[in-house]
Amino acid sequence: MQIFQYPAQQEWAALQERAAAQQAQDIELRVQQIFEDVRQRGDAALVDYTQRFDGADVRAGLRVTAEEIQAAVAQVPSELQTAIRQAHANIWKFHATQREEEKRVETMPGVTCWRRAVPVQRVGLYIPGGTAPLFSTLLMLGVPARLAACPEVVLCTPPQKDGTVNPVILFTAQLLNISTIIKAGGAQAIAALSGGTESVPGVDKIFGPGNRYVTAAKQLATRYGLAIDMPAGPSEVLVIADETANPAFVAADLLSQAEHGPDSQVILLSDSMTIIEQTQVEVARQLADLPRAAVAAQALEESRAILLRTPEEMLFFSNQYAPEHLILAVRNPEQLGEGVTSAGSVFLGHLTPEAAGDYASGTNHTLPTNGYARNYSGVSLDSFLKKITFQRINTEGLLHVGPVVETMAEAEGLQAHARAVTLRLDSIHAEQTAISNPVHS
């Protein structure tokens, strides 16, 4: 990690820049070409890209069969199955509390408004595979999708070299009652979900993290009328640590994000040079025996340890950076946490590792990265719902609100708007007149 001591605020912007593995413009161009190819050639393009990028032959079929799912479940150790079921229960419990009751409000006498939550009808879940198949991400997306009662859920994930999907992903999919599973990853999977192919149903909204190509593909999908959860990936963490922090804990938290991928970014802020130095030693010691040491080491090359003067200054830096994960390893974490305005998810205190949120505490780990925490939230139950407003106006209500609408519409020069009210009011007045002055034969 690079160390910076008391940088001036005008230097912060440079320190807050995310690492770029490749120029964004080049990535967008390549992703656009993949989209066009998938839209033209459908399954054939997916088969070719899967062979090229994943080294897997899926000519026999892009869809996972029921037999493949059953065979995979038997391969998952019982201890891991138990852990996944417990994580599933915790995530379900937390997200279930996010349900909202439908509330009807009478804004004026006779004018009633309400909002109803309706599930997104067709959702696509993208689960990264490769060297680290993220079955935990499937829990994070599948649980709220099921709670929202989305009618159609399509899962895309890259296959292993032998053309099969990781058994743990298939076990988790079965637990979530997801049966439409596609052997495709990367930007090509996002392209397939955005327009559909012979084997892949098109969807209305795409969820899931990924590398820069997947993130660029999701953003491109919005040009084809789709929604996405958020720009998510590569992973990042910022740790604020004071003199009470445990350097071994801090190092482990930094490495837990660095091992995600070479373009992950980790930042340590501290008001103690001793903590920074001890954490550096711990990072080196722990890195040595990590199975993914080479990946983590690459990420650390672009990571920073920054010495600042006060907790308040560190928090100010963090809010500008807007990290995906924010760990407050300080004496009074909840007090400092009150000042957090931009972060995907916050972890308070010395005994709250970010890894707990990644797997099993209950919160969602699909979070905005690359500074998008300034204006995006992480995935929640709401991500899978549309909120549709309803209103009903009776005679009394139109007599109250009608003149207000007429006055405002006429002021804006929108006469048809005003007339839509006036005609109804005239009808009401005519009916009332007829009732009060009946014609006698």
Q: Which residues are annotated as a binding site for Zn(2+)?
A: 257, 260, 358, 417
Six token digits for residue 418:
């005003």
321 contacts 240 by C-beta, under 8 angstroms = no
Determine contact, residues 323/373, Cβ cutoff 8 Å: yes
**Contact yes or no for 152/124 (Cβ under 8 A):** no
Give the 3-state secondary structure of residue 117: strand
Structure tokens, 238: 């910022």
Q: Are 182 and 63 in contact (CB under 8 A)?
A: yes
Q: Alpha-carbon distance 405 to 393, whole Å?
A: 13
Is there a catalytic annotation at residue 440?
no
Give me the half-sphere count of Cα atoms (radius 13 Å) on the Cβ side of residue 367: 24
CA–CA dist 398, 395 (Å, integer): 5
- Euclidean distance between CA atoms 370 and 234, whole angstroms: 8
Spatial separation of the C-alpha atoms in residues 432 and 307, rounded to whole Å? 77
Catalytic pick among 236, 302, 325, 354:
325
| Annotated binding-site residue numbers | 126, 188, 211, 235, 257, 260, 325, 358, 412, 417
Q: Which of 324, 334, 354, 365 is catalytic?
A: 324
325 tagged catalytic = yes
Query: Could you list the active site residues?
Result: 324-325
